[in-house]
């Protein structure tokens, strides 16, 4: 290891006077020999000195004396139960004002799908179209695709539900992979949805459509996703009991398999 | 540490004086960290209270494997980020206003001690440039610099708070110092000249 590389390793500790005697004397000796390192260190030292001049507000004793009383008031206010409908209403108003895209885009997407389904049902022969596209006689393939779709959706939903903004690393907030998978699942949902419509399995179709709405919202996440969007989605998933519905459907499927 | 765990356990079971003792012990650390991050007393007050509110709501989740101060610092970092996001969302320019407010406070503070108008004007000017320089570096760089420089935490503990490797903390701190040096080059040259004398 060259002396300059070694001095770089000691640089920060030297800056904050945390080297032991031996390290300090080696570091000082190196700075005497190496102008480049000496200059770099002097510059950094001068920044530290300037930053030491920063003066921050000093609250008085009265402020600290009343600190806990103010906190108690806040805790009391928060502890009062807020009706769920009010929470939902506030979130909706907030989104409509600040992020209208989040509401209008999924609604537009769902409407588009609904219109497509309506046109398909009313103006084209549904039996022929679905049969040709989904190869309905091969029911086991169709069922395994549904199973896979539910499993993958569950993983995505779990990553959203388990995100805890209070303790998770906010720098690591990145849902780009979930967005990509959600895109694939939305495409898959179109296939599965049409198949279920053809087979008139309304309950499962409803679950698939609910999931599609959540997946569309994940696709709409700005950048990697932010805490507000995630919290909103978490409450949506919770209130519509989506995880429970998926679990029940899976149990039902296992039971049916067992009975065959 | 054992005493702290005992207090947490008592607070969890609804013992308000125990929770109050925890707050009393940590309030200054959390407030001054938030103040060093934002430069604004009003923001620091909001953030520190929100952090203790989160602590109150998360008492059941705290297992006591890590120091409580580490948890509090981590939540303060996240709360500062959220506060900044909410501010940019509502498009309010608190940051600029807060500097002016804080400058007012600092001027009074210095004035009462020195009684020298030239000195406090100079200090206010330096302070304003330091605040601006700190706002120009990234949030992560600022967090690490503030924890090391103003809260005097060892690099290992900073790494634990931010859940990153110690090497990452070192390189980020190094980068932060370099950037600050660039932003404050006028003053650093002045200091170098003073040192040379």
User: Is residue B191 a part of any domain in this protein?
Assistant: yes
Is residue B181 predicted with pLDDT exceeding 50? yes
User: Is residue B107 a part of any domain in this protein?
Assistant: no
Task: Count Cβ atoms below 10 Å from residue A175 Cβ, excluding itself.
Answer: 22
pLDDT digits over B96-116, tens only? Answer: 444 444 444 444 444 445 556
What does the alpha-carbon distance between residue A16 and residue A19 come to, in Å, rounded to a whole number? 8
Residues with Cβ within 8 Å of residue B75, at least 6 apart in sequence: A166, A167, B51, B54, B55
Is residue A157 predicted with pLDDT exceeding 50? yes
Q: What is the domain extent for residue B149?
A: 137-197
Decide which of B120 and B62 is more confident: B62
Same domain, B145 and B88: no
Is residue A160 predicted with pLDDT exceeding 60? yes
Decide which of A166 and B44 is more confident: B44
CATH number of the domain that residue B171 is part of: 1.10.10.10
Decide which of B38 and B191 is more confident: B38
CB nearest B89 (choices: A47, A98, A167) = A98
Decide which of B47 and B107 is more confident: B47
pLDDT classification of B189: cutoffs 50, 70, 90? low
A/B interface, count of CB pairs below 8 Å:
118
Question: Which residue from A260, A136, A239 is spatially nearest to A191, judged by alpha carbons?
Answer: A136
What does the alpha-carbon distance between residue B170 and residue B165 come to, in Å, rounded to a whole number? 9
Same domain, B8 and B63: yes
Which residue do the tokens 């320089």 mark?
Answer: B133
Q: A223 phi and psi, to 5 degrees?
A: 50, -120
User: Is residue B156 a part of any domain in this protein?
Assistant: yes
User: Is residue B110 a part of any domain in this protein?
Assistant: no
CB nearest B53 (choices: A45, A78, A167) = A78
User: Is residue B186 a part of any domain in this protein?
Assistant: yes
Same domain, B73 and B2: yes
Among A19-28, A175-184, B35-44, which stretch is predicted with the lowest mean pLDDT?
A175-184
Task: Count Cβ atoms below 10 Å from residue A226 Cβ, excluding itself.
Answer: 19
Is residue B185 predicted with pLDDT exceeding 90? no
Pick the residue of B78, B101, B135, B171 with the most A CBs within 10 A to test the interface with A by mutation.
B78
Which residues of A fall within a CB distance of 8 Å from B75?
166-167
**Nearest-Cα residue of chain A relative to residue B169:** A12
User: Is residue B100 a part of any domain in this protein?
Assistant: no
Contact state of B49 with A71 under an 8 Å Cβ cutoff = yes
Quote the minimal CA–CA distance from B2 to chain A in Å.
22
CB nearest B106 (choices: A57, A67, A68) = A57
Residues with Cβ within 8 Å of residue B5, at least 6 apart in sequence: B64
Which residues of B fall within a CB distance of 8 Å from A59?
31, 41
**Where do the domains of chain A lie?**
3-52, 85-259
**Nearest-Cα residue of chain A relative to residue B44:** A57
Give the angle subtended at the CA of B188 by the CAs of B186 and B191, to the nearest 5°: 115
Quote the minimal CA–CA distance from B187 to chain A in Å.
7
One DSSP character per residue, B98-153 reads HHHHHHHHHHHHHHHHH--HHHHHHHHHHHHHHHHHHHHS-HHHHHHHIIIIIS--
Mean pLDDT on A202-225: 80
pLDDT classification of A99: cutoffs 50, 70, 90? confident
What does the alpha-carbon distance between residue B190 and residue B165 come to, in Å, rounded to a whole number? 35
Same domain, B1 and B83: yes
Mean pLDDT on B63-91: 81
Which residues of B fall within a CB distance of 8 Å from A166?
54, 58, 61, 75, 78
Residue ranges of alpha helices (H) inside A16-137 are 21-33, 35-52, 61-65, 67-79, 84-98, 100-123, 126-134
Among B57, B75, B92, where does a domain finish? B92
User: Is residue B81 a part of any domain in this protein?
Assistant: yes
| Neighbour-count burial of A253, counting CB atoms closer than 10 A to its CB (0-12 exposed, 13-18 middle, 19+ buried) | middle
Half-sphere exposure (CA, 13 Å, Cβ side) for B90?
Answer: 10
Which residues of B fall within a CB distance of 8 Å from A69?
none
Contact state of A166 with B54 under an 8 Å Cβ cutoff = yes
Mean pLDDT on B36-51: 93
What does the alpha-carbon distance between residue B128 and residue A248 come to, in Å, rounded to a whole number? 60
CATH number of the domain that residue B15 is part of: 1.10.1740.10
Question: Which residue from A10, A12, A48 is spatially nearest to B158, judged by alpha carbons?
Answer: A12
Same domain, B6 and B86: yes
**Nearest-Cα residue of chain B relative to residue A8:** B174
Confidence at residue B102, expressed as pLDDT on a 0 to 100 scale: 47
Q: Name the domain count of chain B.
A: 2
Same domain, B149 and B71: no
Give the angle subtended at the CA of B142 by the CAs of B36 and B137, to the nearest 5°: 125
What does the alpha-carbon distance between residue A9 and residue A203 come to, in Å, rounded to a whole number? 63
pLDDT classification of A2: cutoffs 50, 70, 90? confident
Quote the minimal CA–CA distance from A134 to chain B in Å.
46
Q: Is the ipTM of this complex over 0.90?
A: no
């Amino acid at each position: 290891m060259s002396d300059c590389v070694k001095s770089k390793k000691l640089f920060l500790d030297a800056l904050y006077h945390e080297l032991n005697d031996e390290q300090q004397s080696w570091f000082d000796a190196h700075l005497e020999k190496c102008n480049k390192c000496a200059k770099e260190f002097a510059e950094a030292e001068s920044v530290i000195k300037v930053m030491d001049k920063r003066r921050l507000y000093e609250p008085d004793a009265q402020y600290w004396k009343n600190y806990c009383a103010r906190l108690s008031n806040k805790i009391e206010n928060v502890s009062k139960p807020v009706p769920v409908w009010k929470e939902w209403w506030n979130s909706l108003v907030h989104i409509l004002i600040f992020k209208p895209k989040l509401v209008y885009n999924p609604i537009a997407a769902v409407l588009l799908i609904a219109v497509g389904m309506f046109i398909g049902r009313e103006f084209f022969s549904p039996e022929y179209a679905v049969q040709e596209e989904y190869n309905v006689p091969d029911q086991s393939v169709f069922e395994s695709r549904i199973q896979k779709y539910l499993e993958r959706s569950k993983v995505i939903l779990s990553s959203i539900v388990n995100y805890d903004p209070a303790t998770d690393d906010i720098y690591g907030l990145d849902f780009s992979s979930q967005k990509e998978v959600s895109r694939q699942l939305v495409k898959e949902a179109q296939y599965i949805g049409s198949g279920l419509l053809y087979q008139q399995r309304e309950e499962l179709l409803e679950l698939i459509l609910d999931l599609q709405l959540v997946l569309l919202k994940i696709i709409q996440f700005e950048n990697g996703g932010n805490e507000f969007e995630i919290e909103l989605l978490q409450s949506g998933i919770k209130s519509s009991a989506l995880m429970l519905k998926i679990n029940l459907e899976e149990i039902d499927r296992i039971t049916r398999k067992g009975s065959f | 540490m054992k005493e702290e765990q005992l207090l947490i356990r008592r607070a969890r079971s609804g013992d308000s004086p125990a929770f109050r003792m925890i707050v009393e012990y940590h309030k200054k650390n959390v407030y001054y960290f938030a103040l060093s991050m934002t430069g604004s007393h009003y923001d620091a007050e909001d953030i520190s209270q929100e952090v203790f509110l989160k602590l109150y709501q998360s008492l059941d989740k705290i297992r006591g494997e890590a120091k409580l101060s580490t948890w509090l610092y981590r939540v303060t970092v996240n709360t500062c980020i959220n506060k900044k996001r909410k501010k940019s969302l509502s498009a309010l320019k608190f940051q600029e206003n807060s500097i002016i407010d804080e400058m007012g406070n600092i001027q009074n503070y210095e004035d009462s001690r020195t009684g020298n108008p030239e000195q406090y004007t100079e200090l206010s000017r330096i302070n304003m440039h330091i605040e601006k320089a700190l706002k120009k570096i990234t949030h992560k760089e600022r967090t690490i610099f503030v924890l090391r420089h103003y809260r005097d935490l060892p690099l290992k503990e900073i790494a634990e708070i931010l859940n990153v490797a110690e090497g990452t903390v070192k390189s980020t701190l190094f980068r932060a110092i370099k950037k600050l040096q660039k932003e404050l080059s006028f003053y650093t040259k002045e200091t170098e000249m003073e040192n040379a004398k």
